[in-house]
Structure 1
């Protein structure tokens, strides 16, 4: 488990940034954009919208205390080709000793259709070999104007992880995790001034600099959020989320 105190904003990193895209939302909510930094250059992520849901990603900045400026440069990134290596690069066992690298992942957040308080975190392996993720993404919910994450809200997660050491993600495949910001649907007593979600795809192996930021909008209501484990389908990820009972 990692605790992070620096502001870094969302991105998908690849070999070459090729185009600037626009972010669209459906009627289920407001506009989601975000930013992130890696190295000395700003880069960013593609954004797409599907029926009943909205997908967003963003770019990263180099400062350790970056503020959310509200500006997003959305681009598509080329996948980084994995180096040749030993072992069966498509097997589950291979993933247990080969953690995913951020530059070979595409991370998006969508609003789940028919469930306005839920968000789907999609982590796609855009490399040429399988890799392993931690059992769940490291997530916190906070305020975009806060100088650090010390007061962020962290969700409950399912207890009794055990089992295999990593969640396998084959090349070209996507892992899903679902978070419910407000499982009870409460309209009062919610945490004030929560307007962003911070996501680290692999809290066991990735540095804090790979943390991605996804705005939730000023009207987001957050109370006792629940986060599920990575799963191969959204339906399974939802079922995992409902079992969350331990503080992350």
Structure 2
């Protein structure tokens, strides 16, 4: 993410929030057909912001974790980066250069990344405080999510409140996965700066 401030988007109220461009239900795209809903098609066609709905929820099994769901509302499959581009910061700060960036899994390289079929979702989990520290970094109250940092502009970043009592310290973000459980396992293995 660049040092420019991300766009402000109404992310909803914690613990559940969602955002679609323009405040409307996302949808559209060309008619499906000709292999337009397989992984090979997705690898060659990055997702478009207008077809994505991003939601953030508290993971019931682990309140210190947030589930990032990116749903493809388009009529064709498309590709996302390996994981969303995420930062955590103060929602009132004009200077976002001090935002905290989570660790991510290493050993990745080259395209393609994560295919998501039409009408399906990709999940990523961020553990805000994997060490369980009693106190977190001061002033962090917002999770900023760009569904695909490789292809979407920074202006498409969505902002979500963390909710009261959220503690952020050395966060870890996992790869996109088809299930929340698999995404949480991926987050536990995060070991590289994003």
Q: Same-fold call, TM > 0.5?
A: yes
Q: Which residue of 2 aligns with 1:233?
A: 179
Does the alignment pair 1:126 with 2:78?
Answer: no
Unpaired runs of at least 5, structure 1 = 13-22, 24-30, 33-53, 62-74
Once the two structures are TM-superposed, the CA of residue 6 in structure 1 deviates from its matched residue by 1.4
Does the alignment pair 1:170 with 2:117?
Answer: yes
Does the alignment pair 1:9 with 2:8?
Answer: yes
Picking from 43, 52, 56, the partner of 1:109 is 56
Once the two structures are TM-superposed, the CA of residue 166 in structure 1 deviates from its matched residue by 1.9
- Whole-Å separation in 2 of the counterparts to 1:123 and 1:191: 27
Does the alignment pair 1:79 with 2:78?
Answer: no
Once the two structures are TM-superposed, the CA of residue 164 in structure 1 deviates from its matched residue by 5.1
- Whole-Å separation in 1 of the counterparts to 2:88 and 2:107: 23
Distance 1:218 1:10, change over 3 A: same
Root mean square deviation, CA, Å: 2.2
Once the two structures are TM-superposed, the CA of residue 87 in structure 1 deviates from its matched residue by 4.5
Unpaired runs of at least 5, structure 2 = none
Q: Which residue of 1 aligns with 2:39?
A: 92
Could you give the per-residue CA deviations for residues 175-214 of structure 1, whole angstroms, max 9, x where no partner exists? 00000000011013x2100000000000000001100000
Distance 1:78 1:230, change over 3 A: closer
Once the two structures are TM-superposed, the CA of residue 85 in structure 1 deviates from its matched residue by 8.2
Contact residue 7 and residue 148 of structure 1 kept, 8 A: no
Could you give the per-residue CA deviations for residues 122-166 of structure 1, whole angstroms, max 9, x where no partner exists? 001111000000000000000011003100000000000137512
Q: Which residue of 2 aligns with 1:186?
A: 133
Once the two structures are TM-superposed, the CA of residue 8 in structure 1 deviates from its matched residue by 0.9
In the superposition, the TM-score normalised over structure 2's length comes to 0.92
Q: Which has the larger radius of gyration?
A: 1
Q: Which residue of 1 aligns with 2:16?
A: 55
Q: Which residue of 2 aligns with 1:198?
A: 144
Picking from 147, 153, 156, the partner of 1:210 is 156
- Whole-Å separation in 1 of the counterparts to 2:141 and 2:90: 5
Could you give the per-residue CA deviations for residues 61-92 of structure 1, whole angstroms, max 9, x where no partner exists? 9xxxxxxxxxxxxx551512x12588510111
In the superposition, the TM-score normalised over structure 1's length comes to 0.73
Contact residue 7 and residue 147 of structure 1 kept, 8 A: no
Contact residue 193 and residue 218 of structure 1 kept, 8 A: no
Question: How many residues of Structure 1 are paired with residues of Structure 2 in the alignment?
Answer: 194
